[in-house]
Amino acid sequence: MANPHALSCLPTARKIHEDLFYVGASDRRITLFENVFPVAHGVSYNAYLLLDEKTVLFDAVDRAVSGTFFENLGAALGGRALDYLVIHHMEPDHCATIAEVIARYPQVTLLYSKGAEAMLRQFFGFDPAGHGRAVKEGEELCTGRHTLRFVMAPLVHWPEVMMTYDATDKTLFSADAFGTFGALDGNLYADQLPFEAEWLPEARRYYCNIVGKYGKQVQNALAKAAKLEIETLCPLHGPVWRANIGWFADKYDLWSRYVPEDAQGVLVVYGSIYGGTENAAAYLAARLSEGGIANVRMYDASRTDASVLVAEAFRCSHIVLASVTYNLDLFTPVKNLLTDLAAHNLQNRKFALIENGTWGPVSGKRMGELMAAMPGMEQVGETVTLRSAPNAATGEALNALADALLASLRESR
């Protein structure tokens, strides 16, 4: 159906299988995903259309890309009716346009999880029973050639999340799982992109910040997925996977068990006003490098988005925190970071502390308390204390801390 109200545009729908089409679209103008995560390379909102004897749309899209989405949907349907809309996730980055789907295709039957029922009512004000029904774990829908099976994945972002497995084509529609930030630039498949080199940091940042808190639930979903033969993985954001799915699933396994991806990874984060604390952190980073540790990563907490630091903390086995004391407390960017790490359930890391204070340093104690509140965190070496600016004694203390960290890093190899 042509869109009677939208500006004219060309469809960008793509064929994935003989009868499966990508009908989503990318937003390159968005600044902050969920109004909090910077997305310099944009984001894609994926939706898929199955053209079997029955036609099935898997999810809708964010309002920002509704014009292209409806153009794609109309073009891919090619005049056919839309029989089903499967709603995997009720977050408005996917569901904001479902009321318009219903308006354009009034005979469509919505299929959703039990948990989505109240959300449909809350977001849209209609009784979902008038438009469809809730499906259960393991329930199957035969659409002709295809048999679809619904797999619940509660809290793999929100409580109502479910996935769909197409047993005919061995395709898993995985909702927010296996997604990434980043617009799609024409290439639809992960194997067409320099994924490990360029996309993995963004996929990690997406996972850790969006779903990182729910490691246990992700493990449950991975256990269900492990029983399925998956040849194509269709997430709600980022590229489609038709190769190396096991490699990506292994990353999810590590992240969701809070196991560092890099057992020799050192993240140094500092909060410094006049540079003394920064200098101490740089001195320590240099000692670690001299001790044979490659790729020590140092970040200024004031200048680095927290989502980057959260992702780096998930990647690295060792975290060095250095902060000035600020109005009898931690420097605010460092305090915010530690709150964020705790909120994302980070656990099982080794950490070291550097504090600074001119008249009463308390930042070491505060950082220690906040880290100790997270499960499985273990301090390495003694907290190094600066009083205003580093001196020879600071250098000695930092050398000792570097030795303790190097010993711990050798063990974690």
Ligand X SMILES: Cc1cc2nc3c(=O)[nH]c(=O)nc-3n(C[C@H](O)[C@H](O)[C@H](O)COP(=O)(O)O)c2cc1C
- Regarding 394 and contact with ligand X (CB under 6 A), the answer is no
Number of residues in the chain: 413
Stretch that binds ligand X, among 103-111, 175-183, 203-211, 319-327 (CB under 6 A): 319-327
Place of tokens 């002709």: 144
Among residues 8, 35, 107, 327, the one that binds ligand X under rule CB under 6 A? 327
* Contact of residue 118 among Fe ion, ligand X, none (CB under 5-8 Å per partner type): none
Q: Is 390 in the site for ligand X (CB under 6 A)?
A: no
Short-list 61, 84, 71, 183, CA closest to 135: 84
Q: Which amino acid is at 134?
A: A
CA dist list (Å): 233 to 99, 169, 229, 298: 26, 11, 11, 35
The token duo for 9 is 């545009």
Q: Which of 6, 103, 273, 393 binds ligand X (CB under 6 A)?
A: 273
Instruction: Determine, following the binding rule CB under 6 A, whether residue 303 of this chain makes contact with ligand X.
Output: no
- Residue from 55, 164, 277, 317 touching ligand X (CB under 6 A): that is 277
Q: How far is the CB of 28 from Fe ion (least distance, A)?
A: 17
Contact between 358 and ligand X (CB under 6 A)?
A: yes
We find the least distance from the C-beta atom of residue 301 to ligand X, in angstroms, to be 12
Residue from 4, 107, 130, 359 in contact with ligand X (CB under 6 A): 359
Q: Identify what 356 binds: Fe ion, ligand X, none; CB under 5 to 8 Å per kind.
A: ligand X
Least separation in angstroms between residue 329's CB and ligand X is 7
Least spacing, CB of residue 300 vs ligand X, in Å: 11
Indicate the SS3 state at residue 30.
coil
Cα separation, 149 vs 127, whole angstroms:
25
Cα 368 to Cα 383: distance, rounded to the nearest angstrom: 9
How many of the other CB atoms lie within 10 Å of CB of 392? 7
- Residue 325 in the binding site for ligand X (CB under 6 A): yes
Nearest to 64 by CA among 86, 23, 94, 91: 94
- The least distance separating Fe ion from the CB of residue 122, rounded to whole angstroms, comes to 16
